[in-house]
Chain A
Amino acid sequence: MNRDGARSSIDVLERYSGETYGRALLGVYLAAPTVWLVSMYAGHAAAGFAAFLVIFAFGLAMDLALRRSSVVLYDERYERISRKASDAVFNVYGGGGFVVFVSLIALEFLGYYEMTPRVETLFLAWSAFVLSWGVCYTAFKSRA
């Protein structure tokens, strides 16, 4: 696509507001896993995964094109909301996991419970998740 072509594509994009695109993009990004999950339960996992890839790629292309335009899609309020959401998820999984796993380990020491391989895997995954947070936190703190 030549420069004029690229410019006219961006002009087309700028016909609508970031608000309109924000809602549309959210819909596309949420539709992708929804279609996959529904297809999986309907017994069409492969087709569902293919649909997920197509819908997600479409959303990603739209997202990247919008970022090149002057349409404001992501601003400081979006970033603050995202940070809050990340904090909430970390607190739920990090804090919830801590309570659950420490309780299970305590019960195991007391002889009331024995961890299955699946629970051990979950414990390792949770530990990796929390440690990743710790590494990121330390890296950001050293620069702050």
Chain B
Amino acid sequence: MSAYLKIDHIDKSFERGGVATHVLADITLTIDKGEFVSIIGHSGCGKSTLLNLVAGLTPVTAGAILLEGREVNEPGPERAVVFQNHSLLPWLSVYENVNLAVSKVFAGRKSRAERHTWVMHNLDLVQMAHAGDKRPAEISGGMKQRVGIARALAMEPKILLLDEPFGALDALTRAHLQDAVMDIHARLGNTMIMITHDVDEAVLLSDRIVMMTNGPAAHIGEVLDVPIPRPRDRIALASDRSYLRCRQAVLKFLYERHRFVEAAE
């Protein structure tokens, strides 16, 4: 069986003013259907760039990304992105934000009534159905991110890309949203890639954790399997052996072997 998503020897460099910066070097990674993979690394290591490459928002310099055997070279709804700062359109209500995606993606495939049901269903998945008429400015940061997730889910993506989705949230809200994402992953079995810099978050949510070395020319330093059975419960995990071992492995990678050196920036 060929891999669901295959990131095949990709290189990425940006050129600005004649100076090329080598961001990612020789990244190879395969992801199976239904898998939850986290990408962790220090800031500036190019993990967001990697996600943008998979999303098709930036072109690769060399190598290829294949989703179900087809090459990714432009953005599209089958690779929906949950943006770090939610990116809801402030002039549309919560409902309209999701509906914009639904009416675009399902134009001609679903009737108006079916689209309405689908929007409400997805808002319901993130417990935001009650706030459909609110504008983004009227709801909290956590709620905005829930709507961002609903919008991405509503596109029925083959793969869901989460770009530090909880980075801007406080710890309690973050925990609630992590539970919501775990719940959605359990119910729908989506394939998800999440960028994070939070070790606990990575271990709690992922099947595998991809650890990136520091840039420039960052590459995959190590891939860690997280052999914790689902459903996972954060309280029970706090003293779970394999949880602690995974956590320690990631911490060791980040803080011993690839300590972040600010001067290298």
| A in complex with B | no
